[in-house]
Amino acid sequence: MTSFLIFIIILSILILAHELGHFIAARRSGVWVEEFGFGIPPRIFGKKIGETFYSINLLPFGGFVKLHGESARDKIEKPEKAFLNKSKKSRALIVTAGVIMNFLLAILAFSLVYSFSGIPRKVGYIEVLDVNKDSPAQKAGLTPKDIVRSVDYKKVSTSKEFIKRVEEKKGREVRLEIQKPKSQATLPIFLSSRENPPEGEGPLGVIISDSEIYFPPLWQRPIFGIYFGLKEALFWGSMIILGFIKIISGLFLGIVPKDIAGPVGLYAITSEVYKVGILPLINWLGIISVNLAILNILPIPAFDGGHLLFIIIEKIIGRKVLPKVEAWLHAASLTILVFLLLAITIKELKLINSLGITGYLDFLSGLSSK
């Protein structure tokens, strides 16, 4: 029950942040925000403050913003404050503000994590963190805390350099020069690099790091946190975009993705992350927020990106797309998305029923043998 409440809280934060973005942009653009609601109707309580009615609704899940003149079918009482009567620039800002807010939320979440858990700092050498069982590294005598000084007589000081050198020697013998803990001397060891290592392992079966966790003075932590939070948000943004490109290109080739997570999958992951601790949960919030931002900006009708697309088309052709056509495309797209979501949910429930939660999470990670 606690995991479910945490899941609802996380989704509500994501949706409310998104809608708050639309709300702020609309107010700044002079659009009348008729209602800002917390939760899903029916309404429990509400109060009008200024021109906006603020409501609390029965289902405590997410929220919504109702803009005046948002649709051509709406009755317009104040033409000068209607969304559709605003400039293309103002409308574009309003429809993208939710995406911007989700990205900012992700930066905030990652910043908090880095501020409290420390920041990575390069140490100028490569340390062995762990060694996989029955791997070439274990057979050669590599152990945690060993320092790797060179690969095939070439000095390495970063993980990137190490991985590059080892990948070049796949299927062949590799010479490492290592330094044991509390020893000044280095000694050579020879390993047989695997050409086809087990899934989740590298050619040598060793886990390495070229960084340490650094805790800056308290007054500096927010600065470092924001810097690394921004880097983390950009990293996840690029990874998600590459993932979408892979999915779309795969669909054109007739490859149906098997590891897409829907609501059930998100709940399963959230419940597992919650067991680890609050900082991993905040980090997960940041990852989902970036996902939501990227997904929403896609040029698909019914998404914010779809609304932006129609504004761009209006700019190109010099007139608005026929309201009936735009409304039909949004409705058709929404219907398809609902059916797709239902299909993903049914698939997830079947997988969880057959594999269990742990097996399902392994399946999403590509670690399941099924």
Write down the pLDDT at residue 370.
Answer: 40
Q: Residues 81, 68: contact at Cβ < 8 Å?
A: yes
> What average pLDDT does the segment 178-204 reach?
82
Distance from C-alpha of 83 to C-alpha of 335, rounded to nearest angstrom = 25
- Kindly indicate the confidence band of residue 280, based on its pLDDT and cuts at 50, 70 and 90: very high
Distance from C-alpha of 290 to C-alpha of 311, rounded to nearest angstrom = 24
* Residue limits of CATH 2.30.42.10 in the chain: 121-214
**Selected residue with higher pLDDT from 62 and 108:** 108
Distance from C-alpha of 112 to C-alpha of 222, rounded to nearest angstrom = 8
For residue 81, give the DSSP letter.
G
Distance from C-alpha of 36 to C-alpha of 34, rounded to nearest angstrom = 7
pLDDT > 90 in the chain, percent: 34
Token output for 284: 């997960």
For residue 367, pLDDT beyond 60: no
Q: Which CATH number fits domain 121-214: 3.40.50.2000, 2.30.42.10, 1.10.10.10, 1.10.510.10?
A: 2.30.42.10
- Kindly indicate the confidence band of residue 28, based on its pLDDT and cuts at 50, 70 and 90: very high
Other C-beta atoms closer than 10 Å to the C-beta of 235 total 12
Which residues, other chains included, contact 350 with Cβ-Cβ below 8 Å and sequence gap of 6+?
none
Instruction: Please give the distance of CA 155 from its chain centroid, rounded to a whole number.
Output: 36
- Kindly indicate the confidence band of residue 369, based on its pLDDT and cuts at 50, 70 and 90: very low
Which residues, other chains included, contact 245 with Cβ-Cβ below 8 Å and sequence gap of 6+?
none
Q: pTM of this prediction?
A: 0.81
> What average pLDDT does the segment 151-163 reach?
89
Whether the bond between 136 and the residue before it is cis, its omega within 30 degrees of 0, is: no
Write down the pLDDT at residue 1.
Answer: 65
Q: Which long-range contacts (CB under 8 A, 24 or more apart) does 151-155 make?
A: 151/175, 151/176, 153/177
| Per-residue pLDDT reduced to its tens digit, 92-150 | 999 999 999 999 999 999 999 999 999 888 888 899 999 988 888 888 888 899 899 99
Q: Residues 60, 37: contact at Cβ < 8 Å?
A: no
Tell me what the pLDDT averaged over the chain comes to. Answer: 86
- Kindly indicate the confidence band of residue 364, based on its pLDDT and cuts at 50, 70 and 90: low
| Per-residue pLDDT reduced to its tens digit, 305-316 | 999 999 999 999
pLDDT > 70 in the chain, percent: 93
